[in-house]
Amino acid sequence: MKKKIVLMLAAALSLSALSVGVSAEDVANSDKPLVWFNRQPSNSSTGELDMDALTFNDNTYYVGFDANQGAELQGTMIKDYIEANIDSIDRNGDGIIGYVLAIGDIGHNDSIARTRGVRKALGTAVETDGDINSDPVGTNTDGSATVVQDGKLEINGKEYIVRELASQEMKNSAGATWDAATAGNAIGTWSSSFGDQIDVIASNNDGMGMSMFNAWSQENTVPTFGYDANSDAVAAIADGYGGTISQHADVQAYLTLRVLRNALDGVDIDTGIGTADEAGNVLTDDVYTYNADERSYYALNVAVTADNYQDFTDSTVVYAPVSNQLDESTSPRKSVWLNIYNAADNFLSSTYQPLLQNYDDILNLDVEYIGGDGQTESNITNRLGNPSQYDAFAINMVKTDNAASYTSLLSQ
C-alpha cells in the first residue's frame, strides 16, 4: 500500500516574489519554478539521474511515469496474449514464436525500460553487468545473437521457443529518434526477409507501432503492441492492434502544470495533488507516486487491451478528479514557457499537448508552447531568448543528457 506523501518545500520560498502583484521581470530566472517532463535528466549511457538539474532550485521537479512498472505491464500484456492465442499465433507452425522489436531511442531511460520489460517477460533477456541488455539485436533469425537468448514458454503442456528475430533503434537520417516512418520502413524490410516467421510485433511506443500496423501487420493479422494509448492506437485495437499501455497522460499533464502552479502560489507543493485544493482537485495514490530523493512525480500505468479499450478512446480528456477551475483571485494568471522536444512526436503532439492545453485554463496559466525538431536542443533553446518575461518553465529535452543547455540560460 503506497502511503500518501505530503511534501513541504525543501527551503523557504521567496513568497513575495512568486505571488500576486510581482512581475516575472522582478524574479531571478534561476529562482523561477522549473519542471522537467517526459525526459528525466539523466546520463543516457548509465541511466544515472542528473541531480544538479533536478535540484536546480527549490522549485524544480520532474514529471513522468513509472517506466519500470509500465515496462513490466507491456511485457506481461504481450506474454498473456501469446498464451491466450497460442492456437493461432504461430503462423508457420514451426514451434517458434518470433517477434520483432521497434526501439525508440537507445539512450532514453523509458525506451531502455520498455525493451527490457519485453525481453524479461518473454524470457529472451540476457544480463550484462547485472542489468538486462537493451541493445538492438539487428537480425537474429537463427537465434545466435548474444544480446538476447531464446526464451521458452510452456502452454497447455507444450513448450514453445520465443525468439527476438530483429530489433533496431528507429532513428531517421536526420538523427530524430522514435521515428514512425523509419519503423514503417523497417517492418517492410523485415517482412520481406522473414515474413512468416513474425508472429508478434512489439514497439516502444504507439507512433512506431501504428506505422508498422498500417504498413504490414494489420493486413497480415499479426498482433502489434505499443505504448502510450494514443487515440488512433486504442481505436485500432478493434481492428487487430494487440494492445498498448496508458501512462496516464491525463495525470502527467496535470502534474506538469500543477507543480508550477503551486510553486507560483507559494503553497504546499502537495496542494491539489495528494491534498485537496479549495476547488476540490485531488489525486489518489493509485494513479501516481512521488520519489522525494529524485524530486520526481510518476504517473502509474494501465494496460489497454481488447477487454477495456473502449474506456480509453479519447486520450485528450482531462482526468475528472482534477478538472475543477481554480479561483483567479488566489491563483492569478501567470505565464509559462513550455517546449515539446519534437513537434512531430505522435504522443506528445496528439495526446500530451492537447491535455496541457485543457489544463492550462483550469490552472490559470498562460502557456507558450514551443515545438522542437526532435534533433537539436538549439532548435528549442534559441527560442528562449528572453526568459525574464516568463514566470515558470516546463522543459522536454531532446536528449536526457542536455539539461545544462537550459539551466545555463536560466542562470544568466
pLDDT digits (tens, 9 = 90+) for 76-133: 999 999 999 999 999 999 999 999 999 999 988 899 999 999 999 999 999 998 999 9
User: pLDDT at position 1, please?
Assistant: 38
Given a cut of 50, whether residue 212 has pLDDT beyond it is yes
The fold for domain 86-222 equals: Rossmann fold (3.40.50)
Average pLDDT value for residue range 222-238: 96
Residues 80, 82: Cα–Cα separation, whole Å: 5
- Phi then psi for 25, rounded to 5 degrees? -65, -20
Residue ranges of the domains in the chain? 15-67+248-410, 86-222
Cell numbers standing for residue 311: 474506456
Burial group, residue 155, by CB count within 10 angstroms (0-12, 13-18, 19+) = middle
The number of C-alpha atoms within 13 Å of 273 and in the hemisphere containing its C-beta is 29
Residue at 115: amino acid letter: T
pLDDT-based confidence at residue 44 (cuts at 50, 70, 90):
confident
pLDDT-based confidence at residue 47 (cuts at 50, 70, 90):
confident
The number of C-alpha atoms within 13 Å of 53 and in the hemisphere containing its C-beta is 27
Percent of the chain at pLDDT exceeding 90: 90
pLDDT-based confidence at residue 25 (cuts at 50, 70, 90):
confident
pLDDT tens-digit readout, 118-169:
999 999 999 998 999 999 999 999 999 999 999 999 999 999 999 999 999 9
Given a cut of 50, whether residue 332 has pLDDT beyond it is yes
Given a cut of 80, whether residue 5 has pLDDT beyond it is no
Percent of the chain at pLDDT exceeding 70: 95
User: pLDDT at position 91, please?
Assistant: 96
pTM for the full predicted model = 0.80
CB 375 within 8 A of CB 318: no
